């Protein structure tokens, strides 16, 4: 059942039939009583069958739609709910940063008259919401798509990568991608492989709390992202998000190393098995490493294709080995990333199945569900048996990054690639996804 | 192909045919040359087809087995490789702690003459390796099984739970379970549900580095575990492992809240969304909470059955919704725990499949792959749609604990339980697996 301005069921049906939109003046008649006001969107909490009206006195009222309820449209919303500001004046001498919207809550505004949320992704919107941006860069902005990030697929990664490639070739000084936070880590990894050694920084940014909330991280994150895109000495795909409790500390994470580590905290994003590239505080951008691809350095390679016939499988006690065979057969998989235990193990009952799969050319890569550290399958008998069966230990690569990389590697080869070709590309460090040094996990809180 | 004292292939075949054991005096003849020494086990790194002999001068030599190599047994190992110490004298007045070995490296000893590793799990062994134990408790010890922890299944959990139940009914003052670290978190959760409100503490303990290594955490962890089992005021299923860099700091984690967070670090185990119950330092056990089930408090319930028709599925961008249908159908699943993104999302393309599954009585629970924080599916449209389709948000329960709990809940009901019964038991806090307060993730390192 489709949502209608956030309404569902009978309420959605009544509103659709009456042809009313959010902001329209309506009359709702229920059980002999008549309610008169402006229709509000039902965009967050609450019963989606309760029609919400803003009354003349400014208060809202909810009317639960029941059989017999009538909705009458009186007048259409007389004015746009939000008057767009005039386009910002370009400042000569400032760098040009292109902002691409893909969805998410970083730059949305709530219309307080109707309760609706709309994406604010024209350059004018951005500058009017976040005026500091105009002092950093001349911004152009576009909404490429409006998708909740959990609905993004590898085809969307390709689409975003293609647009970034166009912008880079047009000579922008940096690109900012506004993105929902749920799968931002996956997209960052995907763009890292698709846009290798780009000439300018490609900066993903999101907000854990939308810009209408007082605790929002939208402004600080977006300003840091625009600054990174325009000035940072590194030109890699990075994620720019709130670092820790303090409001003025933002981390810039390498795209292949970053994971959303908390469902709701503003400082949810962390670099795993790696330091962030830089930190931005009140005094500007401070580099945390010298090991990066530099702005305007040569070597740009654009390869935006992903093959979706790959899967991430998290092992658990009692998992049946035939799970792998079933998935490979039924979904036509060409590769599997296992998220094993500890140093990279699954039950030894998986050895014959893995031997069979790798023998038939299906790549099987091993990562760890421990989150921190690197796999080492040489320590125990079982690990060695799994390796002999063809499972490939993927060092300290994150499981999520390993999956994205596998989709990208399979996309490189037409038809059925040789196992050894896939393996050797998977083991080659392409954009910082494999590291040399084992780092500890952060201290317990 | 079976391993023979760690050897494989031709080497294993030759040794097996010659009937030699580790420690035997042998002659290996290869390409006209003869090598004479004591057979060493091939227990860790190295080519498993290279036969290793300890020569008379104390050095080792490796002889690669090739076609034509001969192995001759000269004399059998004349003495046991390790002379067991006499059983320890019980100290009247000390508590009685039962130690159960399930596998893992916490209490093994290497025979430096042969290179072999054997489990050291008699009470005498333990006391001779870790003499401090004798001052804390009278220990009885047994090897219940010898299984790499990644090979443990829910049937093993039942087996261990049954043995613990026997020991508790016999009146021991606490139980210690030595366990491999790979799946110790899963077993701890399983025992928490199987042995609810036990009269005495049940303490799982492991070592990230085996006891023959100078950096081993085996001694400190085991001593802390025995102390916890004999003295702690709480009687719950807990995990006792190295807390942080300092050698004398051990955390005691609640069994439903603990995860292995690093592949190799000694302080790999962390409590997630919850404080540890206690910390042990040089000065003894310090409680970190007052909210626990107490020693000898009433309420013990023993329910050791698990139904394995449940699966943990980690969502990723591009995952096909039919993945769930295929797994449920082919594996006869009665429930699925999704590890979604952010606040508990999967792509909205999963809505129809989830509706179909839950409609046919298959439980679908939602957790987050973020590791920290709680799911909240009411914030976004998509989350609400998934809930309407029947997906059940599992609050701040860890995905691994949710899977174990689902296996246990399904084990409670014979045949095909009502969806609502499974749901209501899944949402009931049974042994600390659901918490009231949202904690931040630890600070970045």
Supply the CATH number for residue A351's domain.
3.40.50.40
- A105 catalytically annotated: yes
Does A341 contact B183 at a Cβ distance shorter than 8 Å? yes
The total number of structural domains in chain B stands at 3
Within a domain: residue B335?
Answer: yes
Give the tokens for residue B53: 């002999």
Is the full-model pTM beyond 0.80? yes
Domain boundary among A282, A302, A322: A302
Q: Are residues A246 and A335 in the same domain?
A: no
> A226: which DSSP letter?
H
Among residues A271, A302, A333, the one where a domain terminates is: A302
Is residue A89 situated within a structural domain?
A: no
The size of chain B, in residues, is 445
Q: How much is the pLDDT for B5?
A: 74
Residue A85 contacts residue A128 (beta carbons within 8 Å):
yes
Size of interface A-B (CB pairs under 8 A): 244
What SS3 class is residue B248? coil
Per-residue tokens: B1: 């192909």
CA distance A96 to chain B (A): 31
pLDDT digits (tens, 9 = 90+) for B206-264: 988 766 666 778 888 999 999 999 999 999 999 999 987 677 799 999 999 999 999 99
pLDDT, residue B80, reads 47
What string of DSSP letters covers B96-147?
EEEEEE-SSSTTEEE-TTT--EEE--SHHHHHHH-TTHHHH-EEEEEE----
Distance from CA of B97 to the nearest CA of A (A): 28
**Residues for chain A: how many in total?**
445
All residue ranges of chain A with pLDDT < 50 are 1, 44, 80-82, 112, 445
* A124 and A147 assigned to the same domain: yes
Closest CA to A161 of A148, A145, A173, A150: A145
B188 lies in the same domain as B111: yes
Residues A298, A314: one domain? no
Query: Are both A289 and A328 inside the same structural domain?
Result: no
Dist CA A158 CA B4 (whole Å): 51
Selecting from B267, B372, B380 the residue whose C-beta is nearest the C-beta of A148 gives B380
Judge whether B262 lies within some domain.
yes
- B145 lies in the same domain as B252: yes
Res B266: pLDDT: 86
Q: What is the largest CA-CA distance in chain B?
A: 78
Pairing of strands B202-205, B237-242: parallel
The whole-angstrom separation of Cα B253 and Cα B423 is 27
pLDDT of the residue at A355: 98
| Chain A residues touching residue B153 (CB < 8 angstroms) | 317-318, 347
Do the chains contact at A317 and B152, CB–CB below 8 Å?
Answer: yes
User: What is the per-residue pLDDT across B78-101, written as a single tens digit (0 to 9) for each?
Assistant: 554 445 566 677 888 999 999 998
pLDDT of residue A12: 87
**Residues 6+ positions from B442 with CB-CB distance below 8 Å:** A441, A442, A443, A444, A445, B270
Q: pLDDT > 90: what percent of chain B?
A: 60
Do B134 and B226 lie in a common domain? Answer: yes
Please state whether beta strands A269-271 and A258-260 pair in parallel, antiparallel, or not at all (unpaired).
Answer: antiparallel
| CA nearest neighbour of A264 among B336, B395, B364, B274 | B395
User: Which candidate, A62, A58, A12, places its Cα nearest to that of A35?
Assistant: A62
Question: Residue A233: phi, psi to the nearest 5?
Answer: -75, -15
- Check: CB of residue A15 under 8 Å from CB of residue A3: no
Q: Are A255 and A237 in contact (CB under 8 A)?
A: yes
Is A182 a known active-site residue?
yes
Q: How many CB atoms lie within 10 A of CB A66?
A: 11
The two tokens of residue A13 are 């049906």
Contact A123, A200 (CB under 8 A): no
- The helix, strand and coil proportions of chain B, stated in percent and rounded to the nearest 5, come to 25, 25, 50
The rounded distance, in Å, linking the Cα atoms of A221 and A254 is 16
**Model pLDDT, residue B49:** 84
Same domain, A163 and A115: yes
| Separation between Cα atoms, residue B317 and residue A340, nearest integer Å | 20
B128 and B266 co-located in one domain? yes
User: Would strands A310-314 and A335-340 be described as parallel, antiparallel, or unpaired?
Assistant: parallel
Are residues A271 and B444, on separate chains, in Cβ contact within 8 Å? yes
Alpha-helical segments (H) within A363-398: 381-388
Residues A326 and A271 grouped into a single domain = no
Residue of A181, A358, A367, A401 marked catalytic: A181
Read off the CATH number of the domain in which A205 is found. Answer: 3.40.50.1170
A335 DSSP β-pair partners: A310, A363
Helix (H) or strand (E) holding B168: helix B154-169
Please state, rounded to an integer, the average pLDDT across all residues of chain B. Answer: 88
CB A444 to CB B251 under 8 A?
A: yes
Contact B382, B356 (CB under 8 A): no
For residue B119, report the phi and psi dihedrals to the nearest 5 degrees.
-65, 135
Query: What average pLDDT does this structure show over B315-328?
Result: 98
Among the candidates A276, A302, A328, a domain finishes at A302
Ramachandran angles phi, psi of B95, nearest 5°? -65, 160
Q: Could you say which of A153, A345, A381 has the minimum Cβ distance to residue B182?
A: A345
B132 and B181 within one domain = yes
Q: State which residue of chain B sits closest to A322, comparing Cα positions.
A: B331
A320–B151 C-beta distance less than 8 A: no
**Residue A195 Cα distances to A162, A299, B226, angstroms:** 9, 10, 55
Within a domain: B432: no
Nearest CA in chain A to B7: A381
Closest by Cα among B101, B87, B80 to B22: B80
* Contact call for residues A103 and A147 (beta carbons, < 8 A): yes
Catalytic (active-site) positions of B: 105, 181-182, 260
Which ipTM score applies to this complex? 0.82
Residue A289 lies in a domain: yes
Q: Do A343 and B152 touch (CB under 8 A)?
A: no
> Would you call B59 exposed, middle or buried from its count of C-beta atoms within 10 A (0-12, 13-18, 19+)?
exposed
Q: What percent of chain B has pLDDT over 70?
A: 87
The residue among B376 and A130 whose pLDDT is bigger is B376
Q: How far apart are CA B430 and CA B299, in angstroms?
A: 12
| Cross-chain residue pair A440–B342, CB shorter than 8 Å | no
pLDDT bin (cut points 50, 70, 90) of residue B146 is confident
Residue of A260, A396, A401, A405 marked active site: A260
Compute the C-alpha angle A366/A349/A347, nearest 5°.
50
CATH code for the domain of B52: 2.30.30.520
Q: Which residues pair with A238 in a beta bridge?
A: A203, A254
Among A80, A82, A26, smallest CA distance to A56 is for A26
Q: Which of A156, A263, A440 sits opposite B368 (nearest CB)?
A: A263
Q: Answer yes or no: is B89 within a domain.
A: no
Q: Say whether both B327 and B416 belong to one domain.
A: yes
* Min Cα separation B112/chain A (Å): 18
Collect all residues with Cβ–Cβ distance below 8 Å to A416 and sequence separation of at least 6: A334, A361
What domain range is A51 assigned to?
9-75
- pLDDT the model gives residue A312: 98
Give me the pLDDT at residue A80, please: 47
In a domain, B86, yes or no: no
Question: How confident is residue B313, by pLDDT bands cut at 50, 70 and 90?
Answer: very high
Examine residue A434 and state whether it is found in any structural domain, yes or no.
no
């Amino acid at each position: 059942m489709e949502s209608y301005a956030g309404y569902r069921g009978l309420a959605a049906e009544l509103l659709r039939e009456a042809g009313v939109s959010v902001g329209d003046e309506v009359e709702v008649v229920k059980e002999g009583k008549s309610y008169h006001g402006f229709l509000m969107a039902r965009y967050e909490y609450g019963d989606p069958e309760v029609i919400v009206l803003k009354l003349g006195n400014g208060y809202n009222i909810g009317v639960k739609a029941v059989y017999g309820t009538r909705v009458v449209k009186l007048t259409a919303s007389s004015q746009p709910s939000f008057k767009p500001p005039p386009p910002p004046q370009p400042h000569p001498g400032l760098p040009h940063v292109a902002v691409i919207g893909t969805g998410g809550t970083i730059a949305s505004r709530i219309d307080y008259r109707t309760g609706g949320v709309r994406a604010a992704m024209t350059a004018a919107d951005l500058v009017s919401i976040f005026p500091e941006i105009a002092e950093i860069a001349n911004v152009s902005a576009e909404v490429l798509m409006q998708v909740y990030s959990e609905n993004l697929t590898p085809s969307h990664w390709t689409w975003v990568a293609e647009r970034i490639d166009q912008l880079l070739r047009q000579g922008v000084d940096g690109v900012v991608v506004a993105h929902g936070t749920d799968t931002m880590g996956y997209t960052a990894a995907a763009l890292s492989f698709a846009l290798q050694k780009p000439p300018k920084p490609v900066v993903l940014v999101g907000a854990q709390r939308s810009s209408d909330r007082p605790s929002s991280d939208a402004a600080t994150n977006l300003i840091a992202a625009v600054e990174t895109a325009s000035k940072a000495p590194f030109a890699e795909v990075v994620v720019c998000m709130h670092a820790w409790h303090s409001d003025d500390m933002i981390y810039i994470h390498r795209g292949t190393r970053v994971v959303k580590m908390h469902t709701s905290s503003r400082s949810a994003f962390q670099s795993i098995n790696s330091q962030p590239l830089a930190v931005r505080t009140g005094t500007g951008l401070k580099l945390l490493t010298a090991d990066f691809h530099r702005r305007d350095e040569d070597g740009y390679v654009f390869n935006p294709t992903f093959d979706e016939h790959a899967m991430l499988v998290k092992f658990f006690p009692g998992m049946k080995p035939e799970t792998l065979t079933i998935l490979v057969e039924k979904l036509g998989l060409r590769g599997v990333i296992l998220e094993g235990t500890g140093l990279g193990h699954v039950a030894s009952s998986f050895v014959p199945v893995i031997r069979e799969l790798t023998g038939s050319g299906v790549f099987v890569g091993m990562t760890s569900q421990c989150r921190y550290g690197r796999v080492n399958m040489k320590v125990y008998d079982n690990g060695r048996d799994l390796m002999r069966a063809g499972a490939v230990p993927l060092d300290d690569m994150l499981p999520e990054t390993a999956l994205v990389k596998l989709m990208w590697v399979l996309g490189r080869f037409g038809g059925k690639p040789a196992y050894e070709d896939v393996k050797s590309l998977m083991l080659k460090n392409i954009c910082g996804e494999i590291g040399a040094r084992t780092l500890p996990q952060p201290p317990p809180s």
